[in-house]
Amino acid sequence: MSSPTSASESEPVGAGFRVRGRVQGVGFRWWTREVAAELGVRGTVRNLPDGSVEVRAAAPPPVLEAFATRLAEGPWAARVDQVERFACDDALGAHGFRIAH
């Protein structure tokens, strides 16, 4: 018998991710937007001047964990060396997921 989902598991939480490696010029932002849509994650993704990609996301904790796992894998043309997670509530009010410039 499965237990009902608790409110803390279904309420969206925010998180930020800094993705380092070969993540610019390889379709990483577009891929991230597709994965976010597939999982139901809200937020933004953008390139940073240092060559990394920043993701600000909001979703229920289990979904956010699945999203973080996918970010660490990246699209086929990318090479993800590191995903750093940081506290960020910016995406909690977002509608959908978009590429920011």
Which residues are tagged catalytic? 29, 47
| Residues whose CB is less than 8 angstroms from the CB of residue 15 and which lie 6 or more positions away in sequence, other chains included | 56, 57, 58, 64, 68, 85, 86, 87, 88
CA atoms within 13 A on the CB side of 38: 9
